[in-house]
Structure 1
Amino acid sequence: MTPAEPTFELPALEEVPFELLPGAATSPVLLHVPHSAREIPGEVRAGIVLGDPALERELDHITDAHTAGIADEAARLAGVTPWRFVNRLSRLVVDPERFPDEREEMAAVGMGAVYTRTTHREVLRPGGHDPEPLLERYFRPYARAMTEAVAQRLDAVGRVVIVDVHSYPSAPLPYELHGTGPRPPVCLGTDAFHTPPALLEAAREAFAGCGETGLDSPFSGTYVPLDFYGREPRVGALMVEIRRDTYMSEPGGPAGPGLGRLAAALARLVDAVSG
């Protein structure tokens, strides 16, 4: 199907929508932080129907707060500095980890690549909203840049380990499609093709001091750029979902002492898979 023509033109970008932070030349690890930011460009904000107080509350719920800080501290502590790919815009602009088409399960609750509903299933964008301008401006450049980052690591060291750094609330939100299962302090999301047993075991050992480590509940899967997904075995991937009450005040408050403990665990995982 041919994509619909944009119904409006977005002005030139002034903000940095994403950033690749270099690590050691020998590192195969790419820490991916897609949901840590709250920034929404003004022209995107204009298409959101929530008032400012309601939007701030929604950002409290939907943002994986402080996960960029966890990745930053882990990179500082690791013996071999990992590379980091960090989204500098809110997932309410676009969610770079969603499929932009009918394959996306979360589209059923209005949370595909461009969200139309909130975490509480309220209206975020009006009916008939055309997602194409946002996909073209933000989603596709992000996907291309992540693909290039993975390709560069493959060329440099012959393998890549993508570690997605996420967080989730201690109590399920209405948008969650699989919110009735266990909610351990650390949930490891896996993929049958891209998560080898050694990577999963390394993660369990690294986070052993952070409480129970669960598997694929309440969130499952990993993020791998589509050019490599299901076809390049040299690309390993693991999603690390951290329950927010273990390191911060919910829903959108400050970080606490648990952040350092979790960053140290993530650094142990980085070192375990770097060698």
Structure 2
Amino acid sequence: MQDSSTALGQRPLFEQIKGNTPLLLHVPHAGTEVPDSLRSALKPEALALSDTDWHMDRIARDLLPEGASLMRARVTRYAVDLNRPPDDTPLYSGATTGLISTIDFDGAPLYRPGAEPDSDEQTDRIATWWTPYHKALGEEIARIKAAHGFCVLLDMHSIRSHIPRLFEGRLPDLNLGTNSDTACQQSLSDAALAALQASNFSVVRNGRFKGGYITRHYGQPSRNEHALQIEIAQSCYMMEEAPWTYLPDRADRLKDALARLIAVLADFKPNLEQAQ
């Protein structure tokens, strides 16, 4: 079943496919919708939306197993970052960007001088986009859990492979995050890692990207809610500069590796009694 939801008369917040299995693929950062008020405030170069997880929604749809669910955001992360906590507590000790960031990943200003969002604007954005989105995500996880006794969430992300401000050198191809193996059952984390390591891509678990707010908040294995994040170096499937061209040959190779990961998640059966 497909669905699209709108908050407070704004553009649709997300697109959704409601399935009938425990698996949910989630793509929070592929949105390219720019609200009019934000468009007028951003610098022209920021409208290239360079920090978007380009094409991850396409890849998720291509890999969606029969019966699995999918949820993906439509609004750009420059409006509000859905993978940050509502109080904007930093998730990493190193350089990063915030809930409503005024800089991009490279540290360049996003806004025209004097157009940065004030506290009222920030509060409004959280109420308009962040809060209703997470309400819907929480409800979807609850729906899946009610039907099957558990839910497995794969939070799908990508990022340019070289961003000196955020990490040294080249990012590994496939970065699995389980919040240091607290966001999912250990056996699931190990099986997911093994599935990725069976590919020819470089793989790391709980490295620079061990999971953002979504993985940490919704990954509660004691409540039969298991969450994993995959952060993919964009050079694996696209050009890393505007116009962010999708490269089918590279993408097909990547999708082969991700399909093995998703198969492991789809086959996972937790010990429900142990989790009570």
Give the TM-score, by structure 2 length: 0.81
Tell me, in whole angstroms, the C-alpha distance in 1 between the residues paired with 2:117 and 2:74.
27
Letter of the aligned partner of 2:259 in structure 1?
A
* 1:182 Cα deviation after fit: 6.6
Q: Which residue in 2 is equivalent to 1:268?
A: 260
Question: Is this contact kept in 1: 2:14–2:71, CA < 8 A?
Answer: yes
Shift in CA distance, 193/225, structure 1 to aligned 2, threshold 3 Å: closer
Q: Deviations over 1:25-48 (max 9, x none)?
A: 1x1111110111222111222333
SS of alignment partner, residue 171 of structure 2: coil
Tell me, in whole angstroms, the C-alpha distance in 2 between the residues paired with 1:243 and 1:110.
17
Shift in CA distance, 106/155, structure 1 to aligned 2, threshold 3 Å: same
Tell me, in whole angstroms, the C-alpha distance in 1 between the residues paired with 2:206 and 2:96.
22
Give every structure 1 segment of 4 or more consecutive aligned residues whose post-TM-superposition deviation is greater than 3 Å: 105-110, 125-128, 228-233
In structure 1, stretches of 5+ residues that fail to align are 1-10
* 1:203 Cα deviation after fit: 2.0
Shift in CA distance, 106/211, structure 1 to aligned 2, threshold 3 Å: closer
Letter of the aligned partner of 2:187 in structure 1?
A
Q: Which residue in 2 is equivalent to 1:73?
A: 62
Shift in CA distance, 159/117, structure 1 to aligned 2, threshold 3 Å: same
Q: Deviations over 1:59-115 (max 9, x none)?
A: 12x01111111101101xx3x432111011111111111012152346996832111
* 1:183 Cα deviation after fit: 1.9
* 1:123 Cα deviation after fit: 2.6
* 1:272 Cα deviation after fit: 2.0
Shift in CA distance, 181/239, structure 1 to aligned 2, threshold 3 Å: farther
Question: Is this contact kept in 2: 1:67–1:165, CA < 8 A?
Answer: yes
Shift in CA distance, 232/262, structure 1 to aligned 2, threshold 3 Å: same
Q: CA RMSD in A?
A: 2.5
Question: Is this contact kept in 1: 2:172–2:202, CA < 8 A?
Answer: yes
Shift in CA distance, 30/210, structure 1 to aligned 2, threshold 3 Å: farther
Tell me, in whole angstroms, the C-alpha distance in 2 between the residues paired with 1:231 and 1:186.
23
* 1:200 Cα deviation after fit: 2.0
* 1:181 Cα deviation after fit: 7.2
Letter of the aligned partner of 1:98 in structure 2?
R
In structure 2, stretches of 5+ residues that fail to align are 1-6, 268-276
Aligned ranges for residues 32-181 of structure 1 at < 5 Å?
32-48=26-42, 50-51=43-44, 54-57=45-48, 59-60=49-50, 62-75=51-64, 78=65, 80-105=66-91, 111-125=97-111, 126=115, 129-130=118-119, 131-174=122-165, 176=166, 179-180=167-168
* 1:218 Cα deviation after fit: 2.6
Shift in CA distance, 19/127, structure 1 to aligned 2, threshold 3 Å: closer
Shift in CA distance, 133/110, structure 1 to aligned 2, threshold 3 Å: farther
Q: Which residue in 1 is equivalent to 2:251?
A: 259
Question: Is this contact kept in 1: 2:174–2:233, CA < 8 A?
Answer: yes
Q: Which residue in 1 is equivalent to 2:236?
A: 246
Q: Which residue in 2 is equivalent to 1:17?
A: 13
Question: Is this contact kept in 2: 1:185–1:243, CA < 8 A?
Answer: yes
SS of alignment partner, residue 199 of structure 2: helix
Question: Is this contact kept in 1: 2:155–2:215, CA < 8 A?
Answer: no
Letter of the aligned partner of 2:236 in structure 1?
T
Q: Deviations over 1:154-188 (max 9, x none)?
A: 101011111011112111242x2xx1377211111
Q: How many residues in Structure 1 have an aligned counterpart in Structure 2?
A: 251
Letter of the aligned partner of 1:150 in structure 2?
I
Tell me, in whole angstroms, the C-alpha distance in 1 between the residues paired with 2:183 and 2:53.
23
* 1:231 Cα deviation after fit: 7.3
Letter of the aligned partner of 1:68 in structure 2?
D
Q: Which residue in 2 is equivalent to 1:220?
A: 210
Q: Indicate whether 1:204 and 2:193 are aligned.
A: yes
* 1:19 Cα deviation after fit: 1.9
Identity %: 27
Question: Is this contact kept in 2: 1:31–1:84, CA < 8 A?
Answer: yes
Question: Is this contact kept in 1: 2:150–2:224, CA < 8 A?
Answer: yes
Q: Which residue in 1 is equivalent to 2:175?
A: 187
Q: Which residue in 1 is equivalent to 2:272?
A: none
